[in-house]
């Protein structure tokens, strides 16, 4: 939303293809309806294979993170009681309906933003080959992967 806001403040028309909305009316003190959640997307890149495709939904209190391709390692945090995000609540029974609701909202937002298409991009920049040929073998997964 930063780019559309800067363009709006500068009096420049916001291109239709640009993601986000201007929040300049709020900066001027106007009561403006706004979305309930922030959607974050990161798509896996061959140059950084250790970083999975990630979709996250952040509301006022809760943050839900869904990883594509990392089995069941999703995350839910109560940002009010755990601002450092140290206690993953994803398996807690009392939060299952919230997780289901946030997952539904996540996919609704992805459909609206055409975010269900995972882009395949050409390699660019430096590639980081972290394992030397003939070097050490891959490390095992931590025990919480096998729950």
Structure tokens at 104: 């539904």
Which DSSP category does 58 fall into? E
Say whether both 80 and 99 belong to one domain.
Answer: yes
For the chain, what is the mean pLDDT?
83
Say whether both 45 and 110 belong to one domain.
Answer: yes
Q: Give CA–CA dist 88/126, Å, rounded.
A: 33
Say whether both 21 and 52 belong to one domain.
Answer: no
Say whether both 43 and 111 belong to one domain.
Answer: yes
Tens of pLDDT, residue by residue over 82-122, are 999 999 999 999 999 999 999 999 999 888 876 666 666 67
Number of domains the chain is built from: 2
Say whether both 53 and 27 belong to one domain.
Answer: no
Sheet holding 75-78, edge to edge: 38-42, 53-58, 62-68, 75-78
Nearest to 56 by CA among 23, 27, 79: 79
In a domain, 74, yes or no: yes
Say whether both 66 and 2 belong to one domain.
Answer: no
- Contact between 21 and 8 (Cβ < 8 Å): no
The residue with greater pLDDT, 62 or 2, is 62
Q: Within 13 Å, how many C-alpha atoms sit on residue 12's CB side? A: 10
pLDDT mean over 64-74: 82
- Contact between 20 and 4 (Cβ < 8 Å): yes
Question: Which domain range does residue 105 map to?
Answer: 36-118
Give residue 89's pLDDT: 98
């Amino acid at each position: 939303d930063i780019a559309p806001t800067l363009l709006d403040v500068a009096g420049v028309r916001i291109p239709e293809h640009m993601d986000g909305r201007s929040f300049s009316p709020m900066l001027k003190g106007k009561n403006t309806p706004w979305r309930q959640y922030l959607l974050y997307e990161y798509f896996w890149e061959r140059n950084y294979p250790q970083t999975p495709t990630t979709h996250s939904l952040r509301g006022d209190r809760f943050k839900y993170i869904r990883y594509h391709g990392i089995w069941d390692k999703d995350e839910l945090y109560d940002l009010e009681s755990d601002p450092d995000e140290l206690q993953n609540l994803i398996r807690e029974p009392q939060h299952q309906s919230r997780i289901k609701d946030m997952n539904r909202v996540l996919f609704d937002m992805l459909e609206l933003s055409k975010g269900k298409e995972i882009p395949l991009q050409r390699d660019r920049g430096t590639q980081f080959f972290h394992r030397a040929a003939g070097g050490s073998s891959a490390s095992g997964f931590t025990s919480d992967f096998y729950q």
